Amino acid sequence: MSHLQRITLDPGICHGKPCVRHMRWPVEVVLDLIASGMSVDEILSDHPELERDDVTACLEYARLLVSGEPTRQVA
């Protein structure tokens, strides 16, 4: 099941960058947290407004971009 519906694009939020559920949480920030070595549980503990499916959605979005597949599934 795709979690991509959690990734939103809105010109009025974070300059139109892909974000989590219309919040000011750009996908790139979530990916930076993971790349820094934080576990998903640590991210969720530090940022309770995020949900596990949000982190999964960010990873799925990144995989989609790297694959070269169309990203039109994103809202």
Helix pair 52-67, 27-35: axis angle to 10 deg: 100
Cα–Cα dist 19/26, whole Å: 4
| pLDDT one digit per residue (tens) for the chain, 75 residues | 689 999 999 999 999 999 999 999 999 999 999 999 999 999 999 999 999 999 999 999 999 999 987 776 565
The confidence score (pLDDT) of residue 52 equals 98
The confidence score (pLDDT) of residue 69 equals 77
The confidence score (pLDDT) of residue 16 equals 95
